[in-house]
Each structure stands twice: as C-alpha cells, then as structure tokens.
Amino acid sequence: MNALATKAAIRPQNTTATTAPATGGGEGKSGMITLIPGQILFNDGDSAASLFIIQKGQLRLFKPKGKGFIEIAVLRAGEVIGEMAYFAEEDNEAKRSCSAQAIAQTDIIEISFKAFAKTMSNLNPWFKTIINTLVSRLRKSNTKIKELESNSVSSGYGKSTPEYKFFSNTDIIKLLVSFYLITRTHGEIKGDNYQINRKTLKFYCLDIYNLHDSKFEEFINLLLNQGLVTIEYDNDKFPNILIFNKLDHIRNIFIFMNTQRTCSEEHRIKVNEKCETFLEKILYQIQATNPQTPKVTISLNPIIDDFKSKNIVMEADDLKSAQESGLVGEIFVDNGVMSTSIDYQELRKIFLPIRFTNAIHRVNEKKSKIK
C-alpha cells in the first residue's frame, strides 16, 4: 500500500475550527449551545454570568502562562464547568479562571447564574456555608498548583527565544511510540489493519505513560484528519473503536520525526505546504506510470497546467524546499518544457511523514493564536 492510500480513509465531519468565543461569556442566558471542534466557549478572565453542563462531547481547559498555556483538564459528558465563577467573593466581579475549548463537537446546557441562584436559595444555610468553604479552599489550591506548573513553551533548535507549541517534538514522539506499541500489543488484527478500544489506549497513555488528556484527544483528531485512523462504534453504540489503517505508517512517521529531531537544522527535511501539494501531484503522476527505477525524470508542465486549470498558482520555483532536501533534482528547460529528476523511492517513503509534520505545524499555529 503506497503512502497516499490513506487519503481515502473516512475523515471526521464538522472539523472547521474557530477561536471565536461562543455565548459563554457574560450574557447569562440559559439554553443549549453547540460548539464545533476548536471553538472557544470562554476565555480566561472573561466576565461570567452562567455555568454549563456538558451533554455530549469534550472540552479542553487551559490557562495562559507567559508565552504558552498550562493544560488543566479535559471535561466530558455529565461534568459541570464554570461553577467556580458563581462562588466568586462578593467584592469581586465574577471572572473565568481558565479558558475552555471544544475538542470534538460538543453540546452544552447553559444555566444562568440568576437561575442557579434560585436553586441555591432553597438550600439549607449550612449547606451553602459548606459549599462556599470548599470552593474557597479549592480556588486557593488551584492557584498554588498553577503557579508551580510549567507551560508548553519550548525552544527550537538554535533559537534563543522560546515559542509556544501545543504539541512539542517530545510530545509527538511519545504519542507516536505509545500509540504504536500499545496498539501492536493490545490491539486486534483485522485484515491489514489493527483495531483497539479507545479506553484501553487511553488507560496506558494517561495512567502508565503519563501523557496529558487534552493532547491524547487532540492527537486522535490529528490522526483522523490525516486518514491514519478511522473510528467505529462499540457494542454499546459509543465511538470507541479506533482502526489504524496500516499501523506501520505510525512507526514510519515516528522514525522520520525522531531522526529529524536529532539532526542539525541544516540537515533537516523541511517542505512547505505549497511544495507538499506539488509533490503529492508528482507522486500521483509517477505512480500512474508504474516506474521500475528508484529515480524518475518527469515533465512539470502538465502538472503546472493542471493546477492552473483549477485556479491554483503553482510554479517550478515552488519545488525549491524539496530541492534543498534532495528530493527533487535540478530543473531543466528545453523549448519551454520543464523537467526534473525525482528520487521516487525516497519521496514515496517519506511523503506521509512530511504531510503529518506539516499538519502538526498547522495545529500548533492555530493553538498559539488562542488568547
């Protein structure tokens, strides 16, 4: 199976992300809210006028610190969020103590503080005193813990200024290795694929390997979007069965990324997204000819013309980053015909890892823009 075969895998629906907050700020209205993956429910420090009960889906809780973020928790169906703001001290305005973002499509019941206060007013005064005391202690404990926790800021190779990365290189290596080894050991073989229950995978990743819940869930979304994993329902009608479309793809990506991680900057293979699109088209064209040699000479004109017919501007110079990485040779022009040599075997081997690496960059860039 070639490196491009994963394109045919089922992709998740409604994955358009947005950092625009939902109505969970300070409006204080009761009702239902539906968040799409990546959408912010509220930001740290926002005025608060309601609390929420998660009916379906998952929310990532995080807090800005320095140039990065502290990952706090992942909340799921049946859990409550935003209640801490209700118990704010009387002389302080109710503020959100962290940010909340949907990991998957999430349905939430919003309850205004005004409506919640009516329920609280019916409680025995002793219960209210106990609740307020517990909340006060919890808030102080959370503050101390957050002061001690580190954010996800990391320094790139040769960079003196750290930058925020939701997925650091170390995170990705740990996740790839964990997913591969756990699935290989505890998964079931189904034809050419492996399948494993999400609960089993999660137990080992979080409880044994100490990976963070939010990064575990976002990594699954990343695999879904790249066609490396599909999800089916278990016997209880929950989407818990993960099917790895060629588990060795995970291993190959790990080997590539770990090798790149240990390379010096000048020896790393870096292909930008536009070049990636060009290379994908080149691979399709070469595969159609069933090449018998490792290196192939191709004409670039038909490929560029095809892009042009789709109103996509693509030029031979867009292959520059692939040339610098040794995947594409020098471009020759003869009577207007542009041709070059392609290391087909090498490109076929590492194209999927290149595409996966660029996908990680997109996730990190999107997460870094959240305030």
CATH number at residue 133: 2.60.120.10
pLDDT confidence of residue 368: 78
Listed residues 218, 234, 266: the one ending a domain: 266
- Is pLDDT of 99 > 70? yes
- Is pLDDT of 352 > 90? yes
Q: Are residues 62 and 92 in the same domain?
A: yes
- Is pLDDT of 141 > 80? no
- Is pLDDT of 4 > 50? no
- Is pLDDT of 240 > 50? yes
Q: Are residues 137 and 170 in the same domain?
A: no
Where does the pLDDT of residue 14 fall: very low under 50, low under 70, confident under 90, or very high at 90 and above?
very low
- Is the residue at 25 inside a domain? no
Q: Are residues 247 and 141 in the same domain?
A: no
- Is the residue at 103 inside a domain? yes
C-beta separation of 165 from 154 below 8 A: yes
- Is pLDDT of 229 > 60? yes
DSSP 239: S
Listed residues 88, 123, 149: the one ending a domain: 149
- Is the residue at 365 inside a domain? no
pLDDT confidence of residue 25: 53
Q: Are residues 133 and 36 in the same domain?
A: yes
- Is the residue at 154 inside a domain? no
Where does the pLDDT of residue 3 fall: very low under 50, low under 70, confident under 90, or very high at 90 and above?
very low
DSSP 268: S
Q: Are residues 254 and 292 in the same domain?
A: no
Q: Are residues 288 and 326 in the same domain?
A: yes
Cα–chain center distance at 24: 23
pLDDT confidence of residue 98: 86
C-beta separation of 103 from 56 below 8 A: no
Q: Are residues 228 and 280 in the same domain?
A: no
Both tokens of residue 146? 């957050």
Q: Where are the alpha helices (DSSP H) in the chain?
A: 83-86, 113-120, 125-148, 169-186, 198-202, 213-225, 248-261, 273-288, 301-309, 320-324, 344-368
- Is the residue at 172 inside a domain? yes
Total number of domains in the chain: 3
How many degrees, rounded to 5, is the angle at CA 46 between CA 42 and CA 48? 85
Computed over its alpha carbons, how large is the radius of gyration of the chain?
25
Q: What pLDDT digit, counting tens, does each position of 269-316 carry?
A: 889 999 999 999 999 999 888 888 888 999 999 999 999 999 999 999
- Is pLDDT of 46 > 70? yes
CATH number at residue 193: 1.10.10.10
- Is the residue at 371 inside a domain? no
Once rounded to an integer, what is the mean pLDDT over residues 97-115? 90
Percent helix, percent strand, percent coil in the chain, to nearest 5: 45, 20, 35
Angle between helices 248-261 and 344-368 (to 10 degrees): 80
- Is the residue at 35 inside a domain? yes
Where does the pLDDT of residue 23 fall: very low under 50, low under 70, confident under 90, or very high at 90 and above?
low
Where does the pLDDT of residue 252 fall: very low under 50, low under 70, confident under 90, or very high at 90 and above?
very high
Once rounded to an integer, what is the mean pLDDT over residues 129-152? 66
Q: Are residues 287 and 302 in the same domain?
A: yes
Where does the pLDDT of residue 15 fall: very low under 50, low under 70, confident under 90, or very high at 90 and above?
very low
Q: Are residues 200 and 139 in the same domain?
A: no
Q: Are residues 46 and 93 in the same domain?
A: yes
Domain range holding 76?
Answer: 31-149
- Is the residue at 231 inside a domain? yes
Q: Are residues 127 and 182 in the same domain?
A: no
Q: Are residues 37 and 122 in the same domain?
A: yes
Listed residues 251, 266, 281: the one ending a domain: 266
- Is pLDDT of 253 > 90? yes
Query: Where does residue 62 fall: left (phi above 0), alpha (psi -120 to 50 degrees), or beta otherwise?
Result: beta
